[in-house]
Structure 1
C-alpha cells in the first residue's frame, strides 16, 4: 500500500493572478504583514528572495501552536503563475516523510482562483492526511487576498 497522497483544493480571490503569484513567489517577505493571523515571520536562510533554490523558514501558527517549516523553492513559473515548495525541515518533516506545496493562481475574469496541491508521503499508514494543512492554506490565502485589496 502506497503512503504517498495528493490532495487539492481551490479558493476564489479578488486579487489579480499576477499580483497574488508575485506575493507567494517573489515577495514572500511581505506575507507576514499580509497574513498576520497565520504567518508570524519568514526568514531567508539561503539564496535570494523569489529565486528558485532559495531556502526559507516559515514561522506560523497551526492548530493553535507556533511551528516552523523549512522550505526550498523548487519552481517559480511566472507564465503559469505557479510556484512549488519542498519541505526540508520543521513540523511537516516531523509528520511526513516528504511534503511538497504547489500553488497556482488562475485568472478568472476580474478575479482569480488559487489552486493548492499538497503532495506528501505519510510515515505510517495510520498517520493523518494533510487536509487540515490544506484548509489552513485556503484560509490564509483569503487573508492575504483581503490585505492585497487594501493596497
Structure 2
C-alpha cells in the first residue's frame, strides 16, 4: 500500500559525534541559541531531564512556517550515542499517523532516521523535514567545531 516509509541520511561531521549526542542528551535547550533561525523554543513537559520517558517540546520553522512538536524520548543508548523520539503531538501529525525520529552520532558521523506512516497516499515524503535536520546539524557542527 505504500503508506509506511523510512528516510535515512548519514553525514560526516568535523567534530566527534559524541559532542552532538551530549548536546542533545544534556543541553537540548542550547539548540535554540545555536540554530535560532530554525529552532525557537525547547521545553521539558514531563520528566526532570532528558532521559527515556521524558516528554519534550520544540517550536521550529519548517517550510517557512512556525511549527510545534511534542515528543516522547523513547530510547537513549549511551554506548551507540543514539536517541529516539516519538512524535506525540504537533504539526507533523497533521500529515502522518505516526512519526519516529532517531539520531545516531558515532565517530564523525551523524545519522538521522525518520520512520513514519503517511495519512494518505498523496502525503509527501518528509524530505524537507529531513533537510531541516541536516541544516540544524550543520549549524551545531559549526558551533561545536569551534569548541
Match of 2:134 among 132, 138, 150: 138
Given the two structures, how large is their TM-score scaled by the length of structure 1?
Answer: 0.93
Structure 1 residues 46-94: Cα deviation after superposition (integer angstroms, max 9, x where no partner): 0022211111110001111111011010011010010000000001111
Match among 105, 119, 123 for residue 123 of structure 1: 119
**In 1, Cα distance between equivalents of 2:117 and 2:25:** 24
RMSD of equivalent CA atoms: 1.0
| Aligned mates of 1:64, 1:25 — CA distance in 2 | 28
SS in 1 for 2:37: coil
Asked whether 1:147 is paired with 2:134, we answer no
Contact 1:29–1:49 (CA<8 Å) still a contact in 2? Answer: no
Instruction: Tell me, in whole angstroms, the C-alpha distance in 1 between the residues paired with 2:11 and 2:138.
Output: 8
Normalized against structure 2, the TM-score is what?
0.95
SS of 1:88's partner is strand
Tell me the secondary structure at the aligned position of residue 125 of structure 1.
coil
Between the aligned partners of 2:35 and 2:125, the Cα distance in structure 1 is 24
On the 8 A contact 1:28/1:49 being kept in 2, the answer is no
Structure 1 contact 75–85 (Cα < 8 Å) conserved: yes
**Secondary structure, counterpart of 1:134 in structure 2:** helix
Aligned to 1:9: 9
Post-superposition Cα deviations, 1:17-67, rounded to whole Å, max 9, x if no partner, equal 211111122221211112112111101110022211111110001111111
Separation of aligned partners in 2, 1:14 and 1:41: 26
The equivalent residue for 1:63 is: 63
Q: Which runs of 5+ in 1 are unaligned?
A: none
Q: Distance in 2 between matches of 1:30 and 1:39?
A: 10
How many pairs are equivalent?
A: 147
